[in-house]
Structure 1
């Protein structure tokens, strides 16, 4: 069960990624963030950012144009 939920539905690129970064910056290592988005660019942008960070993508899914990410906050 994620510790926080970020609903970025309806936001266009780059806002889902920027809001994800801000939310992760406010979290403690080990906490989990669930991100919901509708922008198709999120499916590329969020995992790409996480690959370059200390954060870990736990799961990613897409259902009917809704993207869901569960992220574990790393050391920042």
Structure 2
């Protein structure tokens, strides 16, 4: 699994960087995205509704919101 560390970035950067990163993934690949911006809890699920990619899990760990996302199409 790949990791995208976006801790310390404020809205809208976590969503923009995640969107860009997802375009480079092959279908079925997963990425773990770590964010400290509290708005990410709303913004990233909304992004995935737009892109059709799958949010496999969302947890709080080490002061960050951690999302596991699977690229759609596999």
Both structures adopt the same fold (TM-score exceeding 0.5): yes
Q: How many residues align?
A: 73
Q: 2:5 aligns with which of 4, 7, 10?
A: 7
Higher helix share: 2
The alignment partner of 1:59 has SS state of strand
Task: Give the CA RMSD over aligned residues.
Answer: 1.2
Tell me the TM-score normalised to structure 2 length: 0.91
Stretch moving more, 64-73 or 36-45: 64-73
Structure 2, unmatched stretches of 5+, are none
SS for the counterpart of 1:62 is: strand
Q: Could you list the runs of 5+ residues in structure 1 that have no partner in the other structure?
A: none
* 1:70 corresponding residue in structure 2: 68
